[in-house]
Chains A and B, each alone.
Chain A
Amino acid sequence: MFRGLSNVIIKEVKELIRDPKILLGIILVPALMFPIMGLAVQTAMQTAEESMRSISIAVMNLDNGPVAENLTNFLTTLNVKIVEVNNLNFSEAVSYVQQSNLTGLVVIPFGFSYNITEGLKTELNVYTVFRGGGIAESTSSSTISVLLKTFEEGLVFQKVHEKFPEEDPETILNPIGMVERTIIKGNSVNIHPSALFGAMISQSLGMPIGIMMLLIFAMQLAATSVASEKEEKTLETLLTLPISRFTILAGKMTGSIIVAVVGAVAYILGAIYYMSSFMGMMPAEIGVDLAAIGLAPTPISLLLLGASLFMSLISALALAISLSVFAEDVRGAQSLVGPLTMLFVFPMLFTMLTDIHALPFPLMIVLLAIPFTHPMLASNVAFTGDYLTAVIGIVYMAVFTIIVLYIAARIFGTEKILTAKLKFGKLRLRKRQKDQT
């Protein structure tokens, strides 16, 4: 039945991979997009770090008391460059800060020291210059407030110590020590939940996005490979070759999968590179050993994911091919297949952001009815341990796959592949003719 299949596959892969548009759009751009993004973010981060190290602010000291002096000294010891603007009025100071590229202006009001020593509440006015809102800017402005808060904490400690010389100020201020752990699959594990979520982010975000990209690539390729046969007028010859029509269909699907996998791998490698460029900046506790706490994928969960993924690929391709048969050329096919990407984007967003089973019932049903939700759910099996859902999803996918594959085979097996056309225009014309008579 499959005589000549490898020949067809080789041809499909050659045709697709040598197409400059496909090479660029599906392999090169995704592979380069992330590293370039990573580079941009890294550069921004570095600038932010540098600007943090060399913060310079203007200080308008209207108090001139001892606490105000302590404050400026504290900031200076922490490497903050301070420019005194006591000789300017407020509006002059503001325009000076703007012009001389300072991060902000701190105004210490009159009576600041007095109020603090007398135990009265006082105020400190901090003005940050808004220059465009990049990452570097927001970090340096938050740095100012962090430094001021640290100074405030010091004051509090000192006060507490004066009132209760016998006791540890730390115990008074933070009487409860919180120890946070996580329960995984019914066992308590000595890991902070946020650390765990950080570690899982690659799976709960990366997998659905990766699956979505793979499916979208494969569909576009399959649609292209059918439509270009029409556009380039090679279809008729292909259909009269001594091979079964199903072989042609299978060859097109396999060829598209191969090229899509290359594209998806390029995309994932790019994404990993991108992620790893952040890793250096994340706290070390994120290095959680997933295998040790039973969250690494088990062979069964991998098998389920693989099966689910395989079937969604096949059905997505059969769907794309069946649709693209109705198009006259590659452009037409791609715009016919384009709306189908909604079938991946919604499930991806919901699986990424929430637990689908916690959604309102109608929404949940709609999402579960979309076959492509299931591979994304299956990618969660590794940490939910909910094999049943995955298996039900796979059965559902299998039924859907068989149906669309049957439809695609029917279209390929008959003359429909040659004669099928979307006849919107024609129908309208006929109606008009009928109306006239």
Chain B
Amino acid sequence: MSYLIQVYGETEGNKEAEERFEHVGNGDYSLSFLSLNSAQRHANKHVRSVLFANRGLSMEFAVEAKNVVKDFGEIRALDGPSFNVRQGEIYGLIGPNGAGKTTALRVTSTLLLPTSGTVKVFGRDVVDEALEVRRLISYLPEEAGAYKNLSGHEYLEFMTKFTTRNKENLKETVAIAAKISGLEERLRDKVKTYSKGMKRRLLVARALMTKPKLAVLDEPTSGLDVLHSVHVRRIIKQYVEKQGVTVFLSSHNMLEVEHLCDRVALINKGKIVAEDSPAALKKKANVSNLEEVFAKVVGLV
């Protein structure tokens, strides 16, 4: 239990979350302790808009996708969806296997070139201004590893050096990542000695540590145990609330999406079939959770 408190000990004055945390049992996905009250949310939105004004980025959308098509030979992975990710929100893509979630995130991260249509990140085109886009984002792949012959610490340093040259900043950023990952002493060991979940935590930490303007996270909690999933979700929320990070993520876990995302898009066979806040989606479909919304929209029931 001492481990738990160490990892989650920082609820930073959020009494509600602290109290609710006590009630999160093993395997309980409710995560309700993460939901802040509406006044708090409002205040945070204000903080975010100030942060963005200071960064000199006043484009309306963090991601602006228009009729994106992506073909892999004869397979059409994305069939012309358009969507916008607003600044300072957590936007989730959900859908079945092979729906095109990863493809959409990869196109946004400049890894794949759209066959047609455009994607802009803070107003910059992912094809024509790829390098500028890469300076704004950090991408967490769905299935990723770290350099196995480097230590976790060396890996984080390597990643940090692309964003800062200042020694102090470097130390600070790595320390932040150490905290996010919760790996502590194990950061000194080579990555090849890590378990799958430990590697994932290292990668999540590296994606968030530099406080990117846009974090593109492909199934951020895949492979993590319940407690670490809770921890990672909490961190994501915190970064959005306090650091002005915008998050564009994909997930299979409807409950996770429901509690984490400000807005979600349901994607099926490369097309967006519904898009709204989780509450509005539920209301429209007149069901009690997103899973059912999804089943209804895709036509499974």
Counting CB contacts under 8 A, is B296 at the interface? no
CB distance from B213 to the nearest CB of A (A): 12
B121-159 interface code vs A (CB 8 A; 1 in, 0 out): 000000000010011011111011111111000100011
> Which residues of A from 204 to 259 have beta carbons under 8 Å from B?
232-234, 236-237, 239-244
CB distance from A3 to the nearest CB of B (A): 8
Chain A residues with CB under 8 A of B158: 7, 10-11
Please report the C-alpha to C-alpha distance between residue A418 and residue B150 in the assembled complex, in whole angstroms: 23
Counting CB contacts under 8 A, is B179 at the interface? no
Chain A residues with CB under 8 A of B149: 14-15, 18-19
Counting CB contacts under 8 A, is B112 at the interface? yes
Please report the C-alpha to C-alpha distance between residue A419 and residue B103 in the assembled complex, in whole angstroms: 12
> Which residues of A from 386 to 426 have beta carbons under 8 Å from B?
414-415, 418-419
Chain B residues with CB under 8 A of A415: 111-113
Chain B residues with CB under 8 A of A3: 162
Counting CB contacts under 8 A, is B203 at the interface? yes
A18 nearest in chain B by CB position:
B149
Counting CB contacts under 8 A, is B49 at the interface? no
Please report the C-alpha to C-alpha distance between residue A3 and residue B161 in the assembled complex, in whole angstroms: 10
Please report the C-alpha to C-alpha distance between residue A15 and residue B192 in the assembled complex, in whole angstroms: 12
A418 nearest in chain B by CB position:
B111
B114 nearest in chain A by CB position:
A415
Interface range on chain B (Cβ under 8 Å from partner):
20 to 34
Counting CB contacts under 8 A, is B11 at the interface? no
A237 with B141: CB separation less than 8 A: yes
Q: Chain A's interface: helix, strand, loop or mixed, by majority? A: loop
Chain A residues with CB under 8 A of B139: 236-237, 240
CB distance from B68 to the nearest CB of A (A): 14
Partner of A4, one of B111, B138, B140, B161: B161
B162 with A236: CB separation less than 8 A: no
Please report the C-alpha to C-alpha distance between residue A238 and residue B158 in the assembled complex, in whole angstroms: 11
Chain B residues with CB under 8 A of A7: 158, 161-162
Interface range on chain A (Cβ under 8 Å from partner):
20 to 34
A236 with B141: CB separation less than 8 A: yes
Give the A-B pair count, Cβ closer than 8 A: 72
B158-195 interface code vs A (CB 8 A; 1 in, 0 out): 11011100000000000000000000000000000000
Chain A residues with CB under 8 A of B140: 237
Please report the C-alpha to C-alpha distance between residue A233 and residue B202 in the assembled complex, in whole angstroms: 14
B72 with A236: CB separation less than 8 A: no
Q: Chain B's interface: helix, strand, loop or mixed, by majority? A: loop
Partner of B131, one of A18, A233, A234, A244: A244
Partner of A11, one of B72, B109, B147: B147
CB distance from B93 to the nearest CB of A (A): 17
Partner of B146, one of A19, A234, A241, A419: A234
Counting CB contacts under 8 A, is B251 at the interface? no
Given contacts A241-B162, A242-B163, contact A236 B150 (CB under 8 A): no
> Which residues of B from 2 to 40 have beta carbons under 8 Å from A?
none
Please report the C-alpha to C-alpha distance between residue A244 and residue B132 in the assembled complex, in whole angstroms: 10
Please report the C-alpha to C-alpha distance between residue A11 and residue B157 in the assembled complex, in whole angstroms: 10
Chain A residues with CB under 8 A of B246: none
Chain A residues with CB under 8 A of B118: none
> Which residues of A from 13 to 42 have beta carbons under 8 Å from B?
14-15, 18-19
Partner of A242, one of B131, B141, B144, B154: B131
CB distance from B146 to the nearest CB of A (A): 6
Please report the C-alpha to C-alpha distance between residue A17 and residue B89 in the assembled complex, in whole angstroms: 43
CB distance from B21 to the nearest CB of A (A): 31
CB distance from A105 to the nearest CB of B (A): 64
B150 with A11: CB separation less than 8 A: yes
Given contacts A15-B149, A242-B134, contact A234 B144 (CB under 8 A): yes
B141 with A243: CB separation less than 8 A: no
Chain B residues with CB under 8 A of A237: 139-141, 144, 203, 206
Please report the C-alpha to C-alpha distance between residue A285 and residue B143 in the assembled complex, in whole angstroms: 66
A233 with B113: CB separation less than 8 A: no
Given contacts A4-B161, A4-B162, A7-B161, contact A240 B110 (CB under 8 A): yes
B131 with A232: CB separation less than 8 A: no
Please report the C-alpha to C-alpha distance between residue A240 and residue B112 in the assembled complex, in whole angstroms: 11
Chain A residues with CB under 8 A of B131: 242, 244
Please report the C-alpha to C-alpha distance between residue A39 and residue B173 in the assembled complex, in whole angstroms: 54
Please report the C-alpha to C-alpha distance between residue A415 and residue B110 in the assembled complex, in whole angstroms: 8
Please report the C-alpha to C-alpha distance between residue A419 and residue B115 in the assembled complex, in whole angstroms: 14
Please report the C-alpha to C-alpha distance between residue A414 and residue B126 in the assembled complex, in whole angstroms: 12
Chosen A-B contacts, 19 in total, with CB atoms closer than 8 Å, are: A3-B162, A11-B147, A14-B147, A14-B150, A15-B147, A232-B146, A233-B143, A233-B145, A234-B144, A236-B141, A237-B139, A237-B144, A240-B134, A240-B139, A241-B134, A242-B135, A414-B113, A415-B113, A418-B111
* Other A-B pairs, 5, CB within 8 Å; known A4-B162, A14-B147, A237-B141: A11-B147, A234-B147, A236-B144, A237-B203, A240-B110
A residues neighboring B (CB under 8 Å)? 3-4, 7, 10-11, 14-15, 18-19, 232-234, 236-237, 239-244, 414-415, 418-419
The 9 closest A-B pairs by CB, nearest first: A18-B149, A240-B139, A233-B145, A236-B141, A232-B145, A242-B135, A7-B161, A242-B134, A415-B112
